[in-house]
A and B are shown apart, each in its own frame.
Chain A
């Protein structure tokens, strides 16, 4: 870096320094940097500016336009994703379970070149026994179920008969025994068949259908997609921990849209970034224009306690120290009664409570006190 620019290294943001360096002839750097610094100081937010209020307005106004076109089927073929206002509400409320959890799985080279991409995708997907069975034949005489299997599909994912038997054993082992029938299928028999009847057999048949066989639990749909020059897998359902453990998955880029899962696996800072990305994605998709700094502020607020706090009365609002401020948001009577029961004191340090009491509020010019003592 240029020597003159180094002087500003802790005064100007990195992006500006880079821009000066790239676009400026070396001889003029000193002058330009001084001028940029001057402009930069002018555009900084003043102390006491009500940034939260500005952010609320700036996100809220485009939000009113968004309500008109809410339930959008966005994104990739056949997979529907919550977009628009419902998605924004979902993120900012800090909901634990979201409507359409989704993952974007990046693959390591050479798996991302597109060869066998369908099989890789299918290996990720949670498979149940029903998918591999072509036909259920119920044998009333011997009280057993014969399963005709889809061998092609089993071969593609690499599922062997032994695995199916093990899977059945694991979830229904108390009720049935199963073995190969020698013709590529399976035979399932009831245990203790003397006291069991046809009804039990039918019940077991239904249960068999949903026996978990292999794949990652929670991933209900997979879709290989080409993005730029590589193939990625988009999934419906999310299970970040398990997916990152797979050896063909690129663990540095794979993400989920479930912010709680990101919090658990990657930590609070990654969550903040994910909130920003997700909200911005929605706003961008609707071709609205909200400055990313507003979203950053919201994300910072939500993540400042180390855990995700939604913008609700249970989340960030419950963190406020002032009773009156909490009461002014939602359920006032509850807050006032609880506060009076424990003898809470309100120091009137913030905005809302002072508005309620008709006093000057500590924002903007209301913030500083007098520096000089006025002589009497």
Chain B
């Protein structure tokens, strides 16, 4: 009965990708934000399961949006 479920395939879960260090700087400069001002995501979040994210990393989320087709959103990883 037990099966391995992959929640990243669920319709409600948008694509999460880990942002590289270089990209990270570009993003925060572009938005004129320090990393700590970004919305947060918990390190324990189920959607981050396969990503090996650590504290302070930025996650790029590609949302399917009803109004814009596709939007990009960023969250910073925090532990609890």
* Most chain B beta-carbon neighbours within 10 Å: one of A14, A245, A247, A270: A270
Assembly CA distance A245 to B48 (angstroms):
19
User: Counting CB contacts under 8 A, is B1 at the interface?
Assistant: yes
Q: Answer yes or no: B36 CB below 8 A from chain A CBs.
A: no
Scan residues 1-25 of chain B and give those whose CB is less than 8 A from a CB of chain A.
1-3, 5-7, 9-14, 16
Pairwise interchain contact B46-A251, C-beta atoms closer than 8 A: no
Interchain CB contact (< 8 A) of A273 among B12, B46, B48, B70: B12
Query: What separation, in Å, do the CA atoms of A109 and B3 have in the docked complex?
Result: 17
Contacts A15-B69, A244-B5, A262-B12; A306 near B47 (Cβ below 8 A): no
Check B9–A267 contact: CB distance below 8 A. no
Contacts of A14 in B (CB 8 A): 68-70
Q: Is residue B66 within 8 Å, beta carbon to beta carbon, of the partner chain?
A: yes
Pair A268/B7 contact, Cβ less than 8 Å: no
Other-chain residue from A270, A292, A306 in contact with B66 (beta carbon distance below 8 A): A292
Interface pair B46/A267, CB less than 8 Å apart? yes
Using A252-B9, A252-B10, A266-B12 as known contacts, say yes or no to A13 and B46 having CB atoms under 8 A apart: no
Interface residues on B, range: 20 to 34
Inter-chain CA distance A247–B9, complex, in Å, is 16
- Of B7, B9, B45, B67, the contact of A293 (CB 8 Å cutoff): B67
A167 to B44, CA, bound (A): 35
Which of B40, B45, B61, B63: most chain A CB closer than 10 A?
B45
Q: How far is the CA of A5 from the CA of B3 in the complex (A)?
A: 44
Q: In the complex, which of the residues A17, A264, A305, A306 contacts B46, with contact meaning CB atoms closer than 8 Å?
A: A264
- Across-interface contacts of A253 in B (CB, < 8 A): 10-11
Residue of A246, A252, A265, A292 near B67 (CB, 8 A) is A292
Quick check: is B53 within 8 A (CB to CB) of the other chain?
Answer: no
